[in-house]
Amino acid sequence: MSKIIDGKKISLKIKDELKMEVEKLKVKPKLVVISVGDNPASKVYVGQKEKAANYIGIDYLHEHYDSISDDNLVKEIEKFNKDKSVDGIIVQLPLPDGMDEKRIVNTISCDKDVDGLTYLNAGLLINNRETLASCTPKGIMKLLEHEKVKIEGTNAVVVGRSILVGKPIANLLLNANATVTVCHSKTKDLAKITKKADILIAAIGKKHFITRDMVRHGSVVIDVGINRVDGKLYGDVDYDNVYDKVAKITPVPGGVGPMTVVMLMENVLLAYKNHHK
């Protein structure tokens, strides 16, 4: 088996499996993506979601607003919450400055919250209950599973504690019986901790922050970072210099990124199945 965890290849396989499943359905699952403003990265991510939905056969509706008040956006979401033809709703983040992201995201019905970001779904994850889990962490778990990486009993270190990535992946690893350490910007002696990791997850948002001296020989390194510098994408891990030291590693691009979109589609299908029970 290759040392490089090929997220692109794995995601394509899952995408084809989802497509085959959706082809058999009489009524198609439906995803609504809501975006506000003109964030260039968001435009790229929304485009990727549309492409994946179209490929799989998921009905896709993109509602875009140049600007909208919090109250009106809440009303729009409530409309989709009530619409029985809609299985999944996501609000593309970040919202423009000044909007109340927490209020808006938590307006989404938890059974349609395919990004897994509502308080309820996050709480279910902590309690190790079935839920629509946040897509990037779910994608990381799929990659580890695909590569047959043993999780139980290992030391897993997560660098980053965001609601989107760090906290949910720490909980998923804990649910899978790893011993998890979560690090952040106030952590002292970070390298001392990361060097003990059997599984190291880097979700920081700083180009090549994890250097060769910070990783353990034979560890599995998952690089979540997407850092755009001069039009090029870089991970949080100094891939070239870390590569020969580790057992497995995800590249950037082509590692975690492609899994995130496919896990969103998997969540839409999951929500659909729950709605059609």
Residues in 116-155 at the binding interface with ligand NAP, rule: CB under 6 A: 136
Q: Cα separation of 108 and 93, whole Å?
A: 14
Single-letter code of the amino acid located at 154: T
Q: Cα separation of 175 and 138, whole Å?
A: 12
* Active site (annotated) includes residue 59: no
Binding mask 231-250 toward ligand NAP (x if CB under 6 A, else -) reads: --------------------
* Active site (annotated) includes residue 38: no
Per DSSP, helices labelled H in the chain are 7-23, 40-56, 70-82, 101-105, 119-126, 135-146, 166-175, 190-194, 239-242, 256-275
Q: Which is nearer to ligand NAP, 198 or 236 (CB)?
A: 236
| From 88, 160, 168, 251, residue interacting with ligand NAP (rule: CB under 6 A) | 160
C-alpha R_g of the chain: 19
Q: Cα separation of 104 and 93, whole Å?
A: 11
Is residue 262 a contact residue for ligand NAP (CB under 6 A)? no
Q: Given the residues 92, 138, 167, 198, select the one marked as catalytic.
A: 92
Is residue 164 a contact residue for ligand NAP (CB under 6 A)? yes
* Active site (annotated) includes residue 49: yes
Q: Given the residues 87, 111, 113, 115, select the one marked as catalytic.
A: 115
227-229/232-234 β-pairing: antiparallel
Is residue 187 a contact residue for ligand NAP (CB under 6 A)? yes
Report the catalytic residues.
49, 92, 115
User: Residues interacting with ligand NAP, by CB under 6 A?
Assistant: 136, 159-162, 164-166, 183-187, 190, 203-206, 224-227, 256-257, 260
